A and B are shown apart, each in its own frame.
Chain A
Amino acid sequence: MEIQDMPQTSITASSMLKDDKFGNNGVEMAVPGSEEEIADILHKANENGKKIAIISGGTKRGYGGLKNDYDILLSLAQYKGVVEHTAGDMTVTVRPGTTIKELQDFLREFDQMASIDPAWPEQATIGGVIAANESGPKRMKYGSARDLVIGLRVAYPDGTVIRTGGKVVKNVAGYDMNKLFIGSMGTLGVITEVTMKLRPVPKCESLVKLFVSKEQLEDLKTFVVQIQDSMIEPASLELVNPALSKKLFNRDVYTLLVAFEDVENSVRYQEKWIEDNKLSGMDMDVSSQTEAQAFWNAFSKVSPNSLTDDEVNSTRAVIKIGSKNLDVFEWLAEAETLQTKNMTIKMHGGLGHGITNAICTGNESEVKQAIERIRSRAEDRKGYAIVKHLPYALRHEIDVWGKKPAYFFLFEGIKKKNDPNNTLNHKRFAGGI
């Protein structure tokens, strides 16, 4: 299939260089247009002891990193487009600078989709989403990047380009090298091509919202356990705290977002199941198809990113908390005790996958304090709290990745074997890798 040229994103590369609120900038910028150029830039930098930061959409500059400037800012924003799509195989190969929206729009023509719903689809690119292992509420049904990516092309710092995985949906030949790069924050190589398995666009979509008063939170937990123990198959069970519900629905209550994506009869049956089984006092609202899609689009923008966060009077932080599925309830309850009059916490978490996002906004010292408290409680529960959006200056005060695991030496070993000169995204990742 011929290569599809896609429109450029509205964020021009030069505007990135002017602002230094989030660091991860470059003294020079390189905007390669081919894999060969990418490999060549890497090779030369690696030979000459230069440090490279990788960027494409520019939404994740607030995600890790202890350097304001690298020698070279390697922008993949122009390296975009679909390389290959075979509808019958339900796989697509795409360049890293393609935004999630561009990819989904392209696939929609074929009634197919990449089943991943990260934040900011208009700005976030597939390369960045995979490098940072970003996911959204529907991960519950569809999994995350590690479940969808079947192949990559990667340029190593020495300029070698390798292919990992393949273009088939099932493959156990050799190590599963795709996993090495997913979530590695660009510290091992530059992803130059991504191959993913696709799914058909569901024939019917709906979103059931359950509004539940603060007093009824325990009842909601009972109901969620009942849902999980039933045979209905929600695509999301995302719990939203009152601060975020207020913003989204103008209601100061907890909201449970239950998505259904299937054939129509199945969706209608499941909506009715919720209606019939919900506990008294729970207020239910159903939106279908385009309305549901519009909601999820709005929902994908609830967290600030480094392109949109121009707040000067207060500090914003986004924390990704990992816990057991049902502990999401405890996290949302905890947000109530952590909030102060100078600092709000908007929170939502997936009861089917255990990932919670906390958006803290307010006074700098109170935001810092909230991060530390969340971190310490998360680690006590054998989970973690990663600060995935934080201004550069604060990243020197707070370790955004949390404590190092006992097996950190393996991370160091992997980095050393693949990027011995620390050429790529140095100090961007866990433990200062």
Chain B
Amino acid sequence: MFRSKRKRQTRKDVHVAQLEAIVGPTEILYEREDLLSYDCDGFTVHKAMPKAVVFPKNTEEVAAIVRYCSVHNLPFLARGAGTGLSGGAIPLNGEVIISLGKMRNLLSVDYENRQAVVQPGFVNLKLTNSISNKGYYYAPDPSSQYVCTIGGNVAENAGGAHCLKYGVTTNHILGLEVVLPNGEIIEISEDGIPDSPGYDLMGLLTGSEGTLGIVTKITVRILKNPQGKQTVLAYFDNVEDGSRAVSGIISAGIVPAALEMMDKTAIEGVEAGAYPVGHPDDIEALLLIEVDGIIAGIDEQIDEILTVCKSRNVREVKVAESEEERGKWWANRKTGFGAMGAISPDYLVQDGVIPRSKLPEVLRRIKEISEESGLRIANIFHAGDGNLHPLILFDSRVPGETEKALEAGTACLKACADVGGSITGEHGVGIEKKEEMRFIFTDEELEAQTRIREVFNPDDLLNKGKLFPTPSRCMDVKKVIKDTVAVK
């Protein structure tokens, strides 16, 4: 970015020059060394180089870039902070990356109507920080919330630890401004008014992993902070007891704000990480349970949770005595993935979902997968909503181990799919889980989805090659047969 303009111009191709004309010379990267940090996102197993990275400052620039790409048949994709864990922002086809990192303003807050309008590059946690002085917050809280952007959250339909009670991103989006793949700007549910007549495009766009349009403005719901909050930490000598405690809490009619679980290997990781709590090193599982709401009603729910834990052979259970202690427990949990770096050179995180009642069964299966592959698997997960995060620990320097880790990850997802679950609860499909889509969807079901893509993104220039498996031969054959029959 700081090189002389003359030198740059000698290397620029015609498209880069045209894109530069749209955003200005300081807002484009196209030299190889500048592009290197855009060759992957949080999914680092796969890498590919973009053609260029552009940094538009407003919706009109995004639209102009998209129109240019569309007219000239250049593949393109949108990128936020690049924290995605499934490779959704990797430029598989040498895309022009449209970074929304410079569209990072909080545009307005309307406390009376409980909504805020942000640009897509606005960081998730910044929203809560900007409104907390008035006692408000934004509910979806993915672990990467201190850096991930709300635009990226919309693309991935991001979740978080507290979505058990408060829902995921889609439940908090009230309106979207979108640049369609042909460059047209549309505004859905302007002013955040719900149920706008017609098909629910907002619902379709949220979680579409950047394949249907580029979101340039987002109206979100904001919530008032709960009056009170209490957090419980429970240690168990075996995973089954921990799982049964999870079911017990849910069946007691309690809706915890969060209900998280970690197994022994995960605890070893977080204790070696940056935020150790001092968990005993010989326990098999821990639960982190949070209840929030009206203070007058919290104590009896906490009592009930303690009773449930005790009836499930808990070794030790305690309630956070201060906000500081609570913060410490959460920091330990939220940095859990990264902490695995302290006990393993590499790790791969998976993201399956299962019906809660299948928890013990699937955890047993994951243990078997670990034994079969010879790789350690740590489990950190949102137990309350059945969203598992097996972390497969491996060493990419050992030949063949990366492949083994990928295989183990696929096997974990298969285990989830086999009990009627899903292959992803919040990380998205991206390129990582494309083929695993077949574990849960038939060819017809996949086709029903690609039909929707064809409506929004008919030329498939926007984020091509993501989300859906490569069409199977069998499907192609079927189509040919169908056509032949029709001709007859």
Contact = CB atoms under 8 A, between A and B. Distances in A.
A89 B421 CA distance: 12
B227 interface: yes
A377 interface: no
A71 interface: no
Interface stretch (B91-99, B312-320, B337-345, B354-362): B354-362
B50 interface: no
Contacts, number: 260
A229 interface: yes
Q: Which bracket fits the contact residues of B?
A: 35 or more
A170 B168 contact: yes
Interface string B220-264: 000011110000000000000000000100110111000000000
B204 A175 contact: yes
Interface in A139-184: 143-144, 146-147, 156, 160-164, 166-180, 182-184
A384 B193 contact: yes
Nearest to B190: A382
A408 B386 CA distance: 38
B245 to A, nearest CB: 13
A87, A111, A172: which has the most chain B beta carbons within 10 Å? A172
Interface in A387-415: 401-402, 405-408, 410-411, 413-414
Given A183-B200, A200-B254, A269-B294, A176 B207 contact: yes
Interface in B195-220: 195-204, 206-208, 212
Contacts of B170: 146, 176, 179
A406 B186 contact: yes
A171 B451 contact: no
B14 interface: no
A176 B206 contact: yes
Contact of A173 (B225, B226, B296, B429): B429
Q: Which bracket fits the contact residues of A?
A: 35 or more
A270 interface: yes
B247, B255, B297: which has the most chain A beta carbons within 10 Å? B297
B112 A326 contact: yes
B262 to A, nearest CB: 18
A90 interface: yes
Interface string B439-452: 01110111011011
A268 B200 contact: no
Contacts of B422: 166, 168, 170-173
B385 A231 contact: no
B425 interface: yes
A172 B186 contact: no
B455 A89 contact: no
A87 B251 contact: yes
25 contacts: A88-B251, A89-B356, A133-B195, A160-B448, A163-B442, A167-B421, A168-B385, A170-B163, A172-B429, A173-B440, A174-B441, A175-B208, A176-B207, A177-B449, A183-B200, A203-B253, A233-B294, A262-B294, A264-B297, A320-B195, A402-B197, A405-B188, A407-B186, A418-B451, A430-B197
